[in-house]
Structure 1
């Protein structure tokens, strides 16, 4: 039992419902309803997080945990389950409506209550996770089979295949026997291996075998009667539907058409599997807090604004983008390009004055910060500050970088350390700090890392620079594979010769200060004559995020160099012997 919790038993029509409460009863009440074959303990971690600011209530539904297990299918019909929910609501919050959050079968039975006329005065909001209204599903299937387009049939048949276990549960005797003898004792291990649900005390409950066998009646009493004769069930309370994209049992397409039944609808996706509340408790708690706070009067968060049914699709509207090295060049152009498409932009640069000028040019939706990307602790603190002030970014552009040119033997250890610290470890620091936030949020995101054509067009004049940019390219490819499960896209952008002022700050090794300045002026003039501006790179970055592209060579010479490096490596090596600096 979590610390600070209080338990009670709610009696209704011969059924005892074991109930657990946490938090201050004076705070808004959130009622968490578990699914099959869980108990209230499935919500332990979510409840602990919510209890800081809410009165959190959970109960074992009939047939589960420490609640009564009545006999007969009639006792498990949706009408009885809805009455249980209202009985708990009346017991724990008799004078104020409650926010309901439900998962799996908890959500299915909560829909029955949410679409009841009493919901208008007793329920403040409803967050549904992986549990549709059976009546809505019945109508959903009918619409797809009566208009049998390839898409409709694919959706309907896909869901029917995902529901294989429902048919198995209608086999006489066998399902209960399997749960009591084979599945129940092994359920925790199966959840861990198949769904990634961590093992922890109390979940699965010691009563799992009995609970699961009892719960088979839920399917037998309700599924086919409701799918065969669906009713019109409308919800007048605000509803937030959370759709896990990797759910093995409830396909995302079931959340379509809900606006027919729910006038005030928010539809959000989660990069997770069916047991989202158990695998990502912090993400669930955050979604619930955002929604309940808004229903209680707070402004909508950026995520809720995107999820609201009927909100216009405005490109990157209601998105947050972080750009490093945004005081000038490609970074400044990228920040402006995202802002022009409706994004809020965090503009970071080691030169705060330059960052502030960029933010001022963009307007009130841009925020300037000082940041040295080579300082790991500073980047971590920056990410924490951005999250606290603006939220978790939807897009991160790791653009900050420096130039180092000159032969290998003329490049000092200090030169190597500085270029590695900024060009490679600066990207690593950004990916680590913000990638972790995106993964914890559970709603995906995108990371853009600025590599270079020098990553595959190697030159004797750029060994240090090429090495770091090749490492960024390899890092990006590895991260793309690693973070795909979290719905986080990763793109490596590889510009070629672009007219930015990086040439004015590039360090040319092995020369005196007079020659250093001459080479800088020469490189700057050559890049300017090339005439390929940073705005063109910025547009490619925006398109890459929209398409979730993996590697994007930008300039014509970068595209040619990419092809040559792949299909004519000998020619690429020969070209690399040319001194492009002096």
Structure 2
């Protein structure tokens, strides 16, 4: 029995070995072939396979010597890339005769798939290739050669960095020891190591064949690595579109390995993912979505096929990171919220624009679609309403899935001394500025944690969080609470792969001044102060889009606290080293 529930199984005979092949989905659909790496079996793909099976004919097979496939005899010389290519062609002919397949490879599955997509005898049998954490040995060989022939400090650092990451390759070339280690203590401890180091869920993976698979798989390295790195092929050009997915925290492969890859792959799509090496187990949702999108684009025959990328207009600086991700922004009807929604849209994200003003939210969603969003929706919700937020959470999850990036931006301004601020004033500002953030973090953050595939929460605080003022006691308190909440959440959720960032803008030219309230004054004086504040913010001229850029950078770099404007950065620095100076400044009468 296979652990892939509902899979159809067959045996394919090739080159003296029997390959165990599993299939899901209708053979009438485009065929997506998933090729596993070392020391895995086809079951590494189980979570991805079930997510693709409703749209594609999904094929998985145990590489020779792994899982339920038989091993060559003798082992030496039985795992060359040439023989692995024979296996691929035999499986492809059996499951998809006369129609090219879409390859997806991870680790050594990707290494051998690079061979399949670059050798001439497979031309016409590969429709596309998605590579995850596995380089072409030929490209790798040329990458090393160029850095050795023209060394610079930077190139030397890249060589040393990848050399350190490749420590295990040297050990696998030693005789006998790797086999004994895998069949002994390492084989028993490997599942626990994956859970602890790679954060792979403890869901019954890997299978019981691991020690034997790992022992046999050492010959993948011995039969191929030294030979190809010494004498890489000069004609290793891809004859099909390629999607490269790079986990940013991969312990075994440097991002720099893909530098200059366009020379070998003219139709290349790049993606990056904040994850470790075992992406098929830790990020199956994201991987399945990107594969489905890429395959659909290639099958569609539109302009995306010629460029090797789906037909999208996203051109944002972080399009490789946020393309297809689900981003929810509160307070998205104007100002920083709208700018943030549009910045994610420009990266090809799917955007949910939330605002208490339904017309403004709808306008943001419309602009987001024009900016390059894969899709955009508007929701009318007051973030201070707990029940409304719970309904929003359930609706988004049911219709769009789990949010990848949450931006708690909605907020209101309140100015006035403590003694003139009423309990109702306090409740109003805390309900929106603090409880709105709490509701978002609690509801959407919980779903991120339950999914177990990471995510990011962005909470918009303020420079007022660390800049005391006699004019802003309620507002500053609410934003200081958001800052500390973010720090606490960051500590709690780090182990689940969820980042939390607190963004602290300073004086930004937004419409918050037109709705801010001023306590202790009559309506005419409040109107005058709003106008004066608006002129001050307008004269400062700091645009919301710069805050949006800082938000995207904070997610990409997983930054904890981000003061944005120069005055915010200065105040943050002074608050840490000269807090007394800020206390003295806070005693002055405000300019409004």
| Short-chain TM bin | 0.7 to 0.9
Name the residue aligned to 2:5: 3
**CA distance in 1: counterparts of 2:515 and 2:536, whole angstroms:** 16
Alpha-carbon distance, 1:237 to partner? 1.0
1:495 counterpart residue number:
506
Determine the structure 2 residue equivalent to 1:541: 547
Provide the C-alpha distance between the structure 1 equivalents of 2:101 and 2:400, rounded to a whole number of angstroms: 29
Deviations 1:193-230 (A, max 9, x none): 221112222x2221211221111111111110111111
Deviates more, 1:541-550 or 1:178-187: 541-550
Q: Offset at 1:15?
A: 0.7
Deviations 1:413-465 (A, max 9, x none): 54433322211132344456676899999999876543334322334554322
TM-score (norm 2): 0.83
Mapping 1:157-236, distance limit 5 Å:
157-201=160-204, 203-231=205-233, 232-236=235-239
- Contact (CA 8 Å) 1:271, 1:443: kept in 2 or not? no
1:264-298 Cα distance to aligned partner (Å, 9 max, x none): 11121121111111111111111111111111117
Q: Is 1:504–1:520's contact at 8 Å kept on the other side of the alignment?
A: no
Identify the residue that residue 115 of structure 1 maps to in structure 2.
118
**Once the 2 structures are TM-superposed, how far is the Cα of residue 25 of structure 1 from its aligned partner?**
1.6
**Which residue is equivalent to 2:530?**
524
CA distance in 2, matches of 1:44, 1:378: 37
Deviations 1:117-159 (A, max 9, x none): 2433222111111111111111111111111011212112221
**Structure 2 CA distance for aligned equivalents of residues 244 and 363 of structure 1:** 28
Measured after TM superposition, the shift of residue 559 of structure 1 is 6.0
Cα distance, 1:8 vs. partner? 1.0
Does residue 474 (structure 1) correspond to residue 484 (structure 2)? The answer is yes
Aligned length, in residue pairs = 573
Deviation at 1:564, TM superposition (A): 5.2
Is 1:267 matched with 2:270?
yes
Q: Distance between the aligned counterparts of 1:61 and 1:29, measured in 2?
A: 18
* Runs (5+) with no aligned partner, structure 2: none
Map 1:306-317; keep pairs closer than 5 Å: 315=317
* Deviation of the 1:526 alpha carbon: 3.4
- TM-score, normalisation: structure 1: 0.84
Structure number with greater Rg is 1
The change in CA–CA distance for 1:546 and 1:93 in structure 2 (over 3 A counts) is closer
CA contact (8 A) 1:355 1:370 kept: yes
Aligned to 2:47: 45
Conservation of the 8 A alpha-carbon contact between 2:111 and 2:136: yes
Equivalent residue for 1:465? Answer: 475
Alignment of 1:350-361 (within 5 A): 350-355=356-361
Per-residue CA shift, 1:347-403, capped at 9, x if unaligned? Answer: 543122444567789994487543322235645665787799999999765432123
Residue 325 of structure 1 pairs with residue 331 of structure 2? yes
Equivalent residue number for residue 151 of structure 1:
154
SS at match of 1:107: helix
The match for 1:417 is: 427
- Check 1:438–1:545 CA distance in 2 against 1; reply closer, same or farther (3 A cut): farther
Residues 491 and 545 in structure 1, CA contact (< 8 A), matched pair in contact too = no
The within-5 A match list for 1:62-77 is 62-72=64-74, 73-77=76-80
Distance 1:279 1:472 in 2: 30
Work out whether 1:23 is the aligned partner of 2:29: no
Once the two structures are TM-superposed, the CA of residue 470 in structure 1 deviates from its matched residue by 0.8
CA distance in 1, matches of 2:53, 2:433: 43
Tell me: CA distance 1:527–1:212, structure 2 relative to 1, closer, same or farther (3 Å). Answer: same
Separation of aligned partners in 2, 1:562 and 1:207:
55
Q: 1:505 to 1:225 in 2, by over 3 A?
A: closer
> Residue 282 of structure 1 corresponds to which residue in structure 2?
285
Report how far residue 169 of structure 1 moved: 1.4
CA distance in structure 1 between the aligned counterparts of 2:286 and 2:438, rounded to whole angstroms: 24
Q: CA deviation at 1:500?
A: 4.1
1:551 maps to 2:576: no
The alignment's C-alpha RMSD in Å is 4.1
Matches within 5 A, 1:447-462: 449-462=459-472
Q: Residue 401 of structure 1 aligns with which residue?
A: 411
Instruction: Give the alignment partner of residue 36 of structure 2, picking from 34, 37, 43.
Output: 34
Greater shift in the superposed pair: 246-255 or 114-123: 114-123
For structure 1, the 5+ residue unaligned runs are none
SS in 1 for 2:123: helix
Query: Hey, what's the Cα distance between the residues in 2 that align with 1:15 and 1:341?
Result: 46
- Distance change in 2, residues 1:298/1:493 (3 Å): farther
Distance 1:580 1:472 in 2: 24
| Counterpart Cα distance in 1 of 2:275 and 2:335 | 38
Point out the more displaced range, 542-551 or 57-66. Answer: 542-551
> Displacement, 1:530?
2.9
Please give the alpha-carbon distance, in whole angstroms, between the structure 2 residues aligned to 1:44 and 1:330.
41
Contact 1:453 1:494 (8 Å CA) reproduced? yes
Q: 2: distance between equivalents of 1:335 and 1:210?
A: 50
